[in-house]
Structure 1
Amino acid sequence: MSAVATRRWLFVLTILVGSFLLFQIQPMVARMVLPKLGGAPAVWNSAMLVYQALLLGGYAYAHWLGRFALRRQAMIHVALFLVAALWLPIGIAQIAPPAAGQEVLWVPLLLLASIGPVFFVVSAQAPLMQRWFAADARAGDPYYLYAASNLGSFAGLISYPALVEPNLPLATQSWGWTGGYAALLLLVAASGWARWSAHPEAMDSDVKQPAEPAPTSRRMLHWLFIAAVPSGLMLSTTTHLTTDIVAMPLLWVLPLGLYLLSFVIAFSTMDRATQVVTTIAPTMLLMVGALALLSSAGGTMMVALASLAMLFVVATALHGYLYHLRPAPRHLTLFYLVMSAGGVLGGLFAALVAPLLFDWVYEHPLLIVAAALLLPLPALFPWNEWIKASPQQTRRLVLLLVILAAFACWNMVQRWSGAFDTDTALWGLTIVAVGLLVSAWRWAYVSTLLLLMIGVGGWDTVKVSVDGTRVRSYFGVYSVTDDAYRMQRRLAHGTTLHGLQSTEPGKEREPTTYYGHQSGVGLALDKAEALAGPDASVGIVGLGAGTLSCYRRPGQSWTFYEIDPVMADIARDPQKFTFLSNCARDTPIVIGDARLQIAKGPAAQFDILVIDAFSSDAIPLHLLTEEAIGVYARALKPDGYLLIHISNRFFGLEPVLAAEAKARGWSAAIRIDPTPDPEGEFGDLTGSSWVALTATPQRLEQLTGGTKARNLSAEDGTWVPLAARKGFTRWTDDYASTLPVLIWKNVIGSYE
């Protein structure tokens, strides 16, 4: 029967549009609520839970609706679409702000009130359309339509940061999504009508089909765990890459995109491709999974790409296995309901439970081991058949091979120095060879994988946890270590240096890294008394190890703003860093998102306000918009100074601040320091870029002593004009995109 007769194209289009809209609304609403809620990861974890809960609810609703005849299903679903349209266009609900300590409950309430009904009804259409499609006995297998669903999701995910956000303000995005919703409503109604009018005898085919046994509880648990592992692995891969491999902009899009593509392949008619991926999955898991416990990775894009390849291969193999275990179409909505619950389970573990349980990203190796326990494991080398070994002989030989792998692991641990040398590489290859030889015996394969993880840096990672020198929060993994050779104490955020203090006697108060006396902020704070008098009021956004606190002078009033309470605890602890305890013990530290906290404070309170939230490769956009700068301007005295740190490998933020200064009529300059010789006089310092903004040219000249041409090399005290970009659009809460300021040559160079 032709696709035209069964209206296959209509159902495919309906599913594509619905899934596309789902993955457009998520980042769009995230952008909308950013100024209201701040950029705390806890907020986004709560948002993710809302999305997953609504998706699970939509799948449960689709399953419940299946008990009715299709005509009634169509009427109920279209009516629900019309009711949900009352929440359009998409916007943020106006509800009272939360009381202290109630944010955890308030954030889900805000999101549910803002988009709950429309997200719920759109999330239900994918399984429901597949059920309607299968109601016509001539239509064929409906499961491949799930591939279309994930293709639409992938298109929505990629198109938002690439096309929608850079070109459309949020208000236009909201009305565009409303138009898409109207189109989806028409498509859903047309899909219902296609089954209603074309073949009325098929309308009740669900009810008239011979009874088929329902899936057992054991089978549903199998579905649940197979779905949970790729979902959790997708999130843990993102955390692992951004924490310990390389911090690159937009990196979070890649794991999610590959996760969605794995469904496209596994649930399509590309059986041969799924078989090939399933065959290579054990080898890929063994070779790349070996790096899962490594906490001192080299930060190369080659390792990042290998991790992404492993995620894609493992997710495709597991989803292919899930497709193989699918029930008859009669139980289709139950199957998708359990799959959705598995996705929620994996996401909960990786995003919320693991950060509370572990001091490092241990969820990543645990999920890799879970994948090894669930993957179909083919006998890659059936050597026992080649040598005609008996079952008892085979068991003994497999045990001997695992013992050989354990011996190789012991040798790797003894020799491991943070990187591979010839000996550790040979012992590692030995374990890989054993893993390939025992792939048909799951216990032996999983044991070999664990031994390889421990040998490749895993032992050192576990030892740091035992030593108690590492701590984890929702904001990342922090380690405090001593470098006896350089006489330094270092604070690492993953593998990124986040703070440094000299342990050489007499130098404990010397500013380090981005904050030396020749940096832009150092020059400003050293002149604070000359610029604002002996009672200068200073605000610092971003505490770190507390390095800047030693610029404080008697009589000055300082306030720190820090989003992570764990970071505040580290900076306050004199057993770790003594900047605060030595220089600013009584300085208040305000915990929370800086923009929100400063907005709550009094106006005209600071002579100097330092914004130090841009030294990592992730940019909190809501701290650089017109509205955010307005918050800072309100907090500054009329002749105050705003200092913003914009050192960044991947983003050139000068045009953003140049456009803002021009719009406000402010004067602005940038101080660009070169990276000092790490072995030279300034071995504790790091190159940095600081922008100074103030109301008048005269006040700016009091700080800079006058600016010089940008083509001059950096000298002590040299400030140069900001580089404006013609046609650059000022960032606002309604419109901001990082793509125009992305330094593509550095992104490409990070692959080398």
Structure 2
Amino acid sequence: MLRSSAAVAFVFVGAVLLFSLEPLVGRLLLPLFGGAFHVWTTALMFFQGALFCAYLYAHLLAPRIGRWHLAVVALPLLFLPPEVGGAGVAEASTLAILTRLSLHVAVPFGVLATTAVVTQRWLADAGREPWGLYAVSNLGSLGALLLYAIVIEPQIGLRTQRWVWAGGYVIYVGLAWLAWRQRGAATRPLPESDAPGPRPRPARLVYWLLLSAAPSAFLMAVTNLVALEVGNVPLVWVLPLAIYLASFVVAFATPRAGEATRVPGAVRRLWPHVAAVGAFFFSGGDAGGGWIDVLVHYAVLAFVTLAAHGELHRARPAPKHLTLFYLVIALGGWLGGAFVALVAPAAFTGLWEYPLALAALALTMGVGRRAALAEWVKTAPKLALIVSAALVVVILVKIAGALSAQTGTDTLAVRRSFYGIYRVTETGGRVRDMMSGSTRHGRQRVGDLTPLSYYHPAGPLGDALTLIEPPRHLGVVGLGVGAAAGHLEPGDRARFYEIDPAVVELARAHFTYLSGARGEVELRTGDARLSLERDDERFDLLFIDAFSGDAIPTHLLTREALALYMEHLAPDGVLLLHVSNRYYDLRPALRATLETLSLPAVHVARVDRLATDQDPSQYVAVAGHAERLSPLRARGWSPLTELPSVSPWTDDHANVIEALSLP
């Protein structure tokens, strides 16, 4: 039992604040950088680097400065409430995100990250067993993540979140003083296994490093994979991180009598088979199996991180060297994160960090515990070994096929950018598609300017364009392959807003909608909302086409954003939103938000009686008065008020969980 209740409270509150700060900061960053899917992985890499710096401080300085650490704890009071800077950027970049985080978040995050290590050091120096505080810290971290995903983010606005967090930090400062006062003297001798031992050898340090780096890289690889498919929202960030932390909680929990570890034996025996299943699902493509794939990847993450962290616990040193142990773990976590956030986007066009992280983990576990590996081969069920061997063969064949497909005749180009991964394919020399994961961003028949897919003349976009008398002035948010330009007639003008330069490059190089348009086309690169705030254009039709992809840029669908769009409409202009998405039904949130602006709207879900080369789609049309939308109602569009209403979305609060379309 830990004698200092203040130490337990101090560590627990510090962990809660630390891991509620991470998604809060990510949520603050996301709209400033256009909802880019690399925002979270870049932020997570920064947090891991800050964690390493905090542990370095705890290892080198905290033992020497003693109670002066309390002054360091008070320093973040100058940075309350937490923020990341208010102005958005035209184009997201890793450097821009890291700069903001360094200026606004590094100090409070770094101080909080020292909590568990410094407090354990206080207890260890007093001759008391400190490992239980590690479990307390991880439980607080896990609780904070789940609370944020389930309660805080869906129910509480960002402004309130920031000030509540600031109040929590004031409490944390008071607990720091109490914990220092109550650290006391030893109440019982250290267990013999935890008595001071020799300094760990370099090989042991490398083993710790790899056992922390590989799971960290795999955590971020799984997060990228799911974010590309489901969307870049806090729920998608928090669940993998919660699984990762839960593996630490279980692995470092105090074993029961007669047990060496709390990690179940089934996990230690079966994790290689589960990893093979994960690699098999990955080799079927970057993503694409819907919710089943997502659940499989989360299960694989749970198994492999629990196995790795169980081995890390087995290899832990005596308490005398615990700050060194945590320092190496933090360095490994940062190296794994840096590989995914910095190296992988530059080196790979696909999400190959996923199988590479699995391979690194298997190699580390195999080499580090050769005897255990041999015992596993002897004791593992023969059927499991046969199935795993077969999976490995299939995986190698599928990965080889995927690699060759990237340069084969059917794949014209593959690009990985800060915002996504895109693949342009050509089928039979006749039809070209732009794909991101399993989502189609546009299609064109070679040599034909007729818009296809969601933009077909017989579809909702064609319906909406009949409302506008020529010559027409169109604004389009989201380029795709430029299919909307195929609707232009001589005298028409269209201004496209596209945040990702890679999409512009692919649309121009491999599709002819832009170059062959019969009207005038203008392209603006950068975040559409920021661009519109600077523009004074008035459009006959403003077409928002940014929600059918893998990420949901919520800042383009808030009350403030919708009000901005209406300001950019000409008299009797129409706002059209394409809201087709496999994972979210955005129409109820859109209805609630439009009601706060007293704007009439109609919607259509065109899912049957489709023309050739037309895909199912959902659209919403908005105008200043209901009569303007009457022609659309005659074509089968329905009032948006027929849909259930949920919480309206604002810049301060958007409940994305309510919009999820679960199977």
TM-score by length of 1: 0.79
CA distance in 2, matches of 1:662, 1:696: 13
Larger relative contact order, structure 1 or 2 (CA cutoff 8 Å, min sep 6): 2
Equivalent positions of 1:664-675 (< 5 A) are 664-675=597-608
CA distance in 2, matches of 1:592, 1:185: 42
Q: Encode CA deviations 1:26-49: one digit per residue, 9 max, x unaligned.
A: 222233344444323454454334
Equivalent position of 2:342 in the other structure: 352
Corresponding residue for 1:582?
A: 516
Provide, for residues 222-263 of structure 1, a one-character-per-residue CA deviation record: whole Å limited to 9, x for no partner. Answer: 21121110000011122334557x779744433222111111
Over 3 Å counting, the alpha-carbon distance change for 1:380 and 1:583 in structure 2 is farther
SS where residue 650 of structure 1 aligns?
Answer: coil
2:595 counterpart of 1:654? no
Aligned equivalent of 1:663, options 585, 588, 596: 596
Counterpart in the other structure of 2:526: 592
Aligned pairs for 1:290-305 (under 5 A) are: 290-295=280-285, 299-305=289-295
Distance 1:154 1:210 in 2: 30
Aligned residues: 643
One-letter amino acid of the structure 2 residue matched with residue 579 of structure 1: Y
Counterpart position of 1:641: 574
Report the Cα distance in structure 1 between the residues aligned to 2:306 and 2:545, rounded to whole angstroms: 41
1:584 CA displacement? 6.0
Is contact 1:643-1:691 (8 Å) kept?
yes
CA distance in 1, matches of 2:276, 2:533: 51
Q: Deviations over 1:500-532 (max 9, x none)?
A: 2224x7xx222211112232222222443x1xx
TM-fit CA distance, 1:737: 0.9
Which of the residues 114, 121, 127 maps onto 1:131? 121
Distance across 2 between alignment mates of 1:268 and 1:165: 29
**Match in the other structure for 2:79:** 87
CA deviation map 1:258-304 (0-9, x unaligned)? 11111111111244442512222223223443444332776154443
Name the SS for the 2:102 alignment partner: helix
1:648: how far off?
2.5
Secondary structure in 2 matching 1:583: coil
> Aligned to 2:182, what secondary structure does the other structure show?
helix
Tell me, yes or no, if structure 1 residue 24 matches structure 2 residue 20.
Answer: yes
The match for 2:498 is 562
Q: Distance in 1 between matches of 2:321 and 2:200?
A: 8
Q: What residue identity is the alignment partner of 1:82?
A: A
Are the counterparts in 1 of residues 20 and 144 from structure 2 also a CA contact under 8 Å?
Answer: yes
Give the equivalent residue in structure 1 for 2:428: 484
Cα distance, 1:725 vs structure 2:
6.6
Offset, 1:686: 1.2
Output the amino acid matched with 1:90: P
Residue 432 of structure 1: how far off its partner (Å): 4.6
Partners of 2:284 and 2:318 in 1: CA distance: 43
Contact 2:495 2:524 in 1 (8 A): yes
| AA of the residue aligned to 2:514 | L
Cross-structure match for 2:205 = 220
Contact 2:34 2:92 in 1 (8 A): no
2:591 touches 2:645 (CA, 8 Å); kept in 1? no
1:497 to 1:103, Cα distance in 2 relative to 1, 3 A? closer
What's 1:182 paired with? 170
Does the 8 Å CA contact 2:426/2:432 hold for their aligned counterparts?
yes
Task: Give CA deviations for 1:635-679 in whole Å, capped at 9, x if unaligned.
Answer: 2234321111112233332233223333323222112212446xx
Q: How does 1:479-628 map to 2 (within 5 A)?
A: 479-484=423-428, 487-503=430-446, 508-528=448-468, 530=469, 533-534=470-471, 536-573=472-509, 576-583=510-517, 587-602=521-536, 604-616=537-549, 618-628=551-561
Q: Which moved more, 1:287-296 or 1:662-671?
A: 287-296
Q: CA deviation at 1:110?
A: 2.7
- Cα deviation 1:346-375 (Å, max 9, x = unaligned): 111112211110111111111111111012
In structure 2, the CA distance between the partners of 1:720 and 1:302, relative to structure 1 (3 Å rule), is closer
Mapping of residues 146-161 of structure 1, within 5 Å: 146-161=134-149
Post-superposition Cα deviations, 1:684-719, rounded to whole Å, max 9, x if no partner, equal 111211111111233333x52xx36xxxxxxxx222
Alpha-carbon spacing, 1:287–1:633, altered in 2? closer, same or farther (3 Å): closer
2:649 pairs with 1:720 = no
**Aligned: 1:693 with 2:622:** yes
Q: Secondary structure at the match of 1:480?
A: strand
Matched letter for residue 433 of structure 1 = I
Distance in 2, matches of 1:696 and 1:81, equals 57
Number of the residue aligned with 2:101: 111
Q: Which amino acid aligns with 1:484?
A: G
Q: Deviations over 1:66-95 (max 9, x none)?
A: 432xxx42x222212222112112234468
Residue type of the partner of 2:517?
C
Is the contact between residue 35 and residue 232 of structure 2 (CA under 8 Å) also seen in structure 1?
A: no
The question of whether the paired residues in 2 share the 8 Å contact of 1:654 and 1:723 is answered with: no
- The structure-2 alpha-carbon separation of the partners of 1:242 and 1:122, relative to structure 1 and needing over 3 Å to count, comes to closer
Change (3 A) 1:595 1:88: same
Structure-1 separation of matches of 2:615 and 2:644: 31
Partner-residue secondary structure (3-state), 2:422 = strand
Q: Does 1:52 align with 2:37?
A: no
TM-superposed deviation, 1:549: 0.9
Aligned-residue offset at 1:163:
0.4
Are 1:194 and 2:179 an aligned pair?
no
Alpha-carbon distance in 2 for matches of 1:588, 1:81: 53
* 3-state SS of paired residue (1:581): coil
Question: Any idea what SS the aligned residue of 1:669 has?
Answer: strand
Q: Which residue number in structure 1 is paired with residue 156 of structure 2?
A: 168
Please report the RMSD computed on the Cα atoms of aligned residues, expressed in angstroms: 3.1
Q: How many Å separate the matches in 2 of 1:382 and 1:91?
A: 52
Matches within 5 A, 1:379-458: 379-380=374-375, 432-433=385-386, 451-455=393-397, 457-458=398-399
| Paired residue secondary structure (1:579) | coil
Number of the residue aligned with 2:270: 280
Cα distance in 2 between the residues matched to 1:17 and 1:488: 57
Partner of 1:378, secondary structure, is: helix
Q: Given that residues 227 and 550 in structure 2 are in contact (C-alpha distance below 8 angstroms), is that contact kept between their aligned partners in structure 1? A: no
* Alignment-derived partner of residue 393 in structure 1: none
Inter-CA distance 474–91: structure 2 relative to 1 (3 Å threshold): closer
- Is the deviation greater in 579-588 or in 558-567? 579-588
Cα distance change of structure 1 residues 94 and 654 upon mapping to structure 2, 3 Å threshold: closer
Gaps of 5+ in 2: none
TM-score normalized by the length of structure 2: 0.89
Q: Give the direction of change, closer, same or farther, for the CA distance of 1:728–1:274 in structure 2 (3 Å limit).
A: closer
Change (3 A) 1:297 1:34: closer
Distance 2:86 2:377 in 1: 65
Counterpart Cα distance in 2 of 1:251 and 1:47: 14
Q: CA deviation at 1:609?
A: 0.8
Deviations 1:290-322 (A, max 9, x none): 444332776154443333222211111111111
Q: Is 1:258 equivalent to 2:199 in the alignment?
A: no
Separation in 2, partners of 1:605, 1:518: 26
User: Which whole-Å CA distance do the structure 2 matches of 1:365 and 1:291 have between them?
Assistant: 11
Task: Answer yes or no: is the 8 Å Cα contact 2:41–2:220 preserved in 1.
Answer: no
Change in 2 beyond 3 A, CA 1:483/1:106: closer
The percentage of aligned residue pairs carrying the same residue is: 35
SS of residue matched to 2:647: coil
Q: Take 2:86 and 2:589, find their aligned partners in 1: how far apart are those partners?
A: 30
Decide whether aligned partners of structure 1 residues 588 and 42 sit closer, same or farther in structure 2, where only a CA change above 3 A counts.
farther
The AA in structure 2 aligned to 1:167 is Q
Pair 1:240 & 2:225 matched: yes
For residue 406 of structure 2, the aligned residue among 443, 465, 471 is 465
1:543 to 1:27, Cα distance in 2 relative to 1, 3 A: same
